[in-house]
Structures are given as C-alpha cells and as structure tokens.
Chain A
C-alpha cells in the first residue's frame, strides 16, 4: 500500500482518522478497522452511504493484501536482497555477520569451480529426465482416464495419491525398492533375465535415472489432474463434429484434443521445469548427492558449501547465481512455449 493513498482515502470518506490509523498499524488491524469505522460513526454516517462503502472497499483490498505483502517482503524479497549482498562478503556460518568485503572473488571462484558447473549439469540432466516424461506420462494417463465413464474417481485417486506423500516417505520407499541384494528393483531385473542388475543408487551411471524414475512416479499426479481437468473442458460437440467430418481417433487426438490442451501444457511445462530445477529433498535423502557426486544438484552444492563447510558468503553467491539461472531458463522456456502455442 502506498503512502499517498492514505490521506486521499481518508479525505474522501470524511471520517478518516480512525480507519486510516487502524489500517496503518499492520496486518491484523487492517481487517479490524472496518468494524471500527462502522461503530465509531456515532450516527453521522449510515452504513448505506456511498462514500463509506467505496472507502471500505478500497481498504478491504489493500488490507487483505497487506498480510501477504508483509510476508512477501520479510520472507522473500528481504532474504533475496540479503543473499545478493552477502555474496560480496566472505561471511561464515560459525561467526555470524556479513564478514569482510571480498568484491567479486566469490563469483570468480564459483564460475571457475568444476563443482559448480558439474552440479548445475546434474540439475539440468535431472530436469530433462523428469520434465519430458512427467508431461507425456501425465497426458497419457489423463487421456486414458478420461475414457472411463465409470470408476473414473478410482483412477483419479490412484494416479494422484503418490503426489500427496511427503518427500521423506517416497525417498524411504524407493531406497527400499532400489536397495542392493534385497531390493524389489533388482529382483524384478533378475526375473526379467538380467544376470547382474546394476546397483540402482550405487552406480554413478544409474543413480540419477533411478531418482528421476522415482520422482516421475511421485509427482506425475499433479500434472495428470491438470490435464484431466482440461480434457473435461473440451466440449463433447467438438469431438462429435470432428468425428462427423471423418477424423479418425488418432487424428482427433492429434489435431483436436492436443491443440485444445495448449494452455494446460503451458502451465504444466513451466511449473514442472521450475520444480525440477529446484530438486533437493529426494536426492538429499536417497543418495546424499553420491555416488561420487554423480547426483549432486546445484541446491545440494549450495547446502554443502553453506552448512557443511560453513561458508555462508560463498554459498550466497552460488544461490544467487542459481536463482538467476533458473529465472533465465524459465523466461526463455515460457517465451518458447507461448510462441509455439500461438503458432498452433
């Protein structure tokens, strides 16, 4: 809420002072000021007065936004600015404070560090491994579920249920499934004829793929629900018209249904990309970034430098770099998808 709005609103209502003061105090007072103004009217103002309702309406909107605004500034913008500033200092977790000014030394070290680039590579690899199947599998599941006229609720629940599990639960589940010697995954691979199935989480070549597979199972439900809702919005008449015009099932899907899901695809693709770039929980719990750092994503690198090594300043630099990279990738991705959507 801007400072200039306060006197303007107060003058317009005529009974400004109590309401203006109330809204200025803070989040809780914003809602309270409405009743305060009404009861403090002392009969000079009826509830039906036009000026009054415009006045309260104006304050209602800002008052309702205020709690979130405060939250946003304190917990998002504030830390972001602090991170940006701390990145130019050599702050230490074990000492507190910002530390000494080091200029761009942290940036030079991060950009020249193999660990920074390799972890960024792992993050991107994970993103590719998850985003593509998470869109395609979700679409396929939604298309299949949409065909059921009875028992649709069951499939909707079954595919969405894993998404409701906390990351710790799916990590534990899949650590058991992927366990060496005793795990289900090795047992199945042996039953399918593999003589020596790989150590799913212990082999550097397989660990990321294993984690990505677990993630797909875990989070596909969210995209699935979005697609299912979008499918249900396609009017029946469109299908019928296409069928009458002689389009076969495959043509109907490719030329009618998929283009009509464009908006859902944009939403799913952008949300999924950002979610995958921020991967941390399941990797931290399942492999801790190993074996041999083969699954360490950028966020884990930030965590390790910040909390294991206690180098808060350097970790801030890496965190900010990661923030900028994710922002750029998301913007490019968003523009790309919007562009193709318009063409289609």
Chain B
C-alpha cells in the first residue's frame, strides 16, 4: 500500500512538473505554436530552408544581426528544403501561427501570393526601410510582383552554371593564355570540349545529376529550351503554348550527351555527380552554383566556373534560375505581423549579402552586386552575368521549386538521358503532362 501511494505521489509530482513546464513554455516558440499567442513584440520568428554551405553563411549573417540589434529576439528555424517546407509554411499561415518573415523561392510565389497567404509590401514601406525598388536586380523583382504588388524581397539569383576542373581543361587544351576556358558556346563546340575532357580524364567528359534529381534534369532541359526561344505556358498556367519541336530538339541534344558517352546516364543527385568531378572522373559539372562550397572544399584552387554555355542562338541568352526571397506570411493581427521589425531584419540581411555570395549565390541587392569586393570575388564574379539571362520557371500553380512540373518533366529528361525514351515521344509526353496540369482545377 505504501509502495502504491509512493508511486502515485511520484506520478503526481511528475505530472505537475510536466504541467509547470508546459505553462512556462508558453513564452517559448513551442508554447507559442500551441496557444497561437503573438509572443512578445521583440520576438521575430524567421523560417528558412538553408542547410549545408548556405546554412553556414546564414548563421554568420544572423549572428552579425543579433549583435547589432540586441532589442530584437531573432528565432531562426531551419527546415529541410523541398515541397514539405512550403506545406509547413502554408499550414502555419492558415493556422494563424506564421513566422514574421520567411524565405521562399520566387518561383513559388504564384501559388503563395495568389492564395492570399502573404502580406504585400507597399512602396512606402519599402522606401521607409531603404528597400527602394531600384536597389534590386530588376529580373528578380519583376518575378516578386503579383497583380502589381510586391510580395517578396529577393535575396539572390541562383542559376544553373558550368563547373570545370582547370587541370583537366589544361590537359585537354581548353584553356586560353590567361587560364580561362576557351569558347564552348554552340552545340558542337560544347560537345567537342566534353570529348576533349573525356580523353583527358579517361572516364567521362562531364557529369550532371540525373538519378533521383528531377529538379536538375528540369534545369538542364529548361535552359536549352529557353535558349531555343520557346515558352511553355501563359495565363497563370492555364494556356499551354509549348513548342513541341523545340522541346524535342532540346531533348535530342541532351540525349547526345549520353549517347556519345560523354556524360554518365546514372549520376545520382546525392553527391554522385559532384564526386565524379572532384574525383577527377569528369572535367565538367553542370549544376547549380550552390554547390560551390562543396566543390571548393574538395578541389580548392583546381576548378573554375562560368555561365552555362550558350548552346543555341535562337533567343537571348538563358539559363535556368530561381531566387530566394524574403516574404511576410500573413499574420492574424498587426501585433503578430510586426512588419517594421521584419523589414528591418530583411534590410540588415540584404546589407550583409556579401557573406551570402560566398555560398555561390549572385546577390539580388545591387549595392552588394556592384561592390568592388564582390566583383573581385572568385570564382563568383566569373558567372555573375548569369543573372541577366535568368530563366525563371513558368508562372503556374503546378510549377516552381520542387513542383509537380519538375517531377513530370524531369522524369522525361532522365528517361531520355538513359536511352529509355526517344526525344520525339519524350516531347510528346511533356506536352501531355503540361496539358493535363493546365486542365486541372487550380488549388488557388
């Protein structure tokens, strides 16, 4: 009996301890999420999907911010990037518990803004915090608008670029007198360069992530397709204007990469493609500039980067790109929104965006992009003009970062690369997929 009572007392003590913990936790982020309270006005919740190299740069920028703004209690939450990140952001906003400021891909804006999840930033608010429109990269800011209003403040432009090993390129005779890559623009010239690199490495000419990476496959295809001057959809994704001939031409070129044994058909997205470059089994890597730190860590000074080659000349230069941007998810009240504090934070991060460029990204904040320090930064400066040719994803609810369109189109590209589907039927499959998506009732 004594033992039973002792146990009850113990359980009671544990229970009351837990209850105390839960109550005192109300001030914490978890407590706030449960109760839906605004939290103290000094609290600024910030959500972002930056891990790895990007995460490191962000931590540095945040600690500078915290030092200079002791009055703001910055709570930064890191989440795994991908479609689930947007699910969390959406549900938190719908549940009236949004962070005050968050990072979103600008390609996701059509869905986020149209569904009323974001709070637009007025011109006067922008000017008040020194965020004048003229300070942003025009192409990125154009995509930040929805029905005339600005819904996002772009932090960077991150294009699909070309990495190459300088030692392999030199051995292959692809470097000019100053150690820069010679002309690789044009369908044959690029393949010739890959061929020369293949002879130098003895294994492969170049690599690109194709297994389990529909996003990278999409970027490769979208780059070539846009260089052919073709477009995909209009009218918010409801009208398909796909050029099937151009799609097939782009796919046929992609197939040549593997059919001529210049690029492996099975490099995986979890580092396999990069490893081929860093291990010296490939001279070129077609990838996003965000892999810079990973490549730099392995190759130190033995590599360089440039904009993705201009394969086709049918249209102005284009390379698949996206932008990270700050957005203000709509809060239930002005006290919870804390727009002023959020915009102050955005301004501080943009001012510190030189640190951000170290991860490879091209700054969308022109004071940084035009600074002498950035222009001297290597190899970042070698592809900085890619921002001018940034080809954003089509504006549609089914498009954008880690979207259904990526998967549907990326699967076709991977299948063509692997030789399972011919370019003609591949283009037809793409057309069928985008037509079906355009006909589907939009969730926004």
Contacts and interface: CB of A to CB of B under 8 A. Distances in A.
Given A307-B83, A308-B403, A310-B111, A290 B214 contact: yes
B414 A292 contact: yes
Given A202-B212, A291-B411, A94 B90 contact: yes
B444 A95 contact: yes
A289 B91 CA distance: 24
Nearest to A204: B420
Given A92-B443, A96-B94, A309-B404, A180 B272 contact: yes
B268 A202 contact: yes
Contacts of B211: 180, 199, 201-202, 290-291
Nearest to A94: B115
Interface string B385-419: 00000000000011000111001000110110010
A292 B94 contact: no
B83 A308 contact: yes
A180 B267 contact: yes
Count class of interface residues, chain B: 35 or more
A239 B367 CA distance: 87
Contacts of B91: 93
B409 to A, nearest CB: 11
A175 B402 contact: no
Given A290-B411, A309-B398, A309-B404, A90 B87 contact: no
Nearest to B8: A35
A287 interface: yes
A292 B420 contact: yes
A308 B443 CA distance: 11
Contacts of A343: none
A168 B100 CA distance: 32
Given A199-B211, A290-B214, A309-B443, A93 B270 contact: no
Contacts of A90: 441
Given A179-B268, A181-B272, A287-B212, A95 B411 contact: no
A180 B266 contact: yes
A307 B414 contact: no
Interface of B: 83-84, 87, 90-91, 94, 111-112, 115-117, 210-212, 214, 266-268, 270, 272, 275, 397-398, 402-404, 407, 411-412, 414-415, 418, 420, 440-441, 443-444
Give the top 6 A-B pairs by smallest Cβ distance, nearest first.
A92-B443, A94-B115, A202-B211, A310-B443, A199-B266, A96-B94
Interface of A: 90, 92-96, 175, 179-182, 199, 201-204, 287-293, 304, 307-312
